[in-house]
Structure 1
């Protein structure tokens, strides 16, 4: 399979790249600083570029089967600027499947029905910027014709892969407070072959 990974130099994204290469998939990564992706593999194609740049993304989208976006906000609007560009390129190249890594803040609140967690008393965050960015991505994906899945982890310590965690559609598993980067990446990567969560947000936590 030919996979385009965005956010490949990040904590979750770099794990996803390693997992895909382990299984001999062909991986394309668009990165601003290629040396940060410290992986060497014959099946890895690195494009130096910007995920908000139409030409970079359209070039990367050629002959792609599936997109995995592990882009984060990092206090910028890169996330919301890039998603329309990504979706447009996917449409042009007839790519239907996109898996993104979001945040537990955009899951439904258990305490305040009708609200998302970041909008409710359920959230303990002092700032909502990141959640608002991910919320906009969620809305754009809902409006699209893509087969999307948003993986929504809670607090993300580095940790190790355990393979033992809970998942729940639209909600954060009750009492969940954290999930490792490695387990989040593994679950995200599993969605390449899984169609159980098409057009859905999935909460993940221990």
Structure 2
């Protein structure tokens, strides 16, 4: 399998990259700082900005699937990048994409017609990140691509344990946290297994 990976220097992206290379897949990673990634014979590292249409198209050409671990980092980079990714995928006929979102964009259990961040299910007062991920959800929802958004709750560093729970469109009941390792493990497996088509998936312990 040939994979294009965006956000390869981030916490989840690094773990997804390790898994893909360990399983013998070919990966193309578009990054701003190539020095942050270790060279590997199955890895093509491209230096560039995800907000640049040409750079994104170059990264996606010839791939089979796309994985985005891009975050918000208090900027609009995410919502500037995703339209480029979607357009490049449409132009090249690539359909499968898995992205990392946030539990804030899952449905609220108290007010099912609202998202968790809109209904106040989350303890976070600042909603900028959720609002950005919501825009991405809407873009993918109308894209006609085969997409899945993996939505972790509180995300501490930590290795994969494997005893997590997942639920389509909702955060598992009483879910409080999920490690970076388990989030990356599930998201990577979902990229290949395609169990949750056109869906958000909540993940927690």
Q: C-alpha deviations, 1:114-173, integer Å up to 9, x for none?
A: 000000131211100000000000000000010000000000000111011000000000
Using the alignment, how far apart are the partners of 1:187 and 1:55 within structure 2?
30
Aligned residue in 1 for 2:9: 9
TM-score (norm 2): 0.99
Residue 28 of structure 1 aligns to a residue whose secondary structure is strand
Residue 193 of structure 2 aligns to a residue whose secondary structure is coil
Spell out the pairing of 1:83-102 with structure 2 (5 A cutoff): 83-102=82-101
Aligned residue in 1 for 2:66: 67
Structure 1: runs of 5+ lacking an equivalent: none
Spell out the pairing of 1:10-89 with structure 2 (5 A cutoff): 10-37=10-37, 39-89=38-88
Aligned residue in 1 for 2:120: 121
Structure 2: runs of 5+ lacking an equivalent: none
Using the alignment, how far apart are the partners of 1:85 and 1:191 within structure 2?
23
Using the alignment, how far apart are the partners of 2:151 and 2:4 within structure 1?
20
TM-score (norm 1): 0.98
Count residues in correspondence: 205
The root-mean-square deviation of aligned C-alpha atoms, in Å, is 0.6
Using the alignment, how far apart are the partners of 1:97 and 1:110 within structure 2?
29
4+ long deviations beyond 3 Å: none
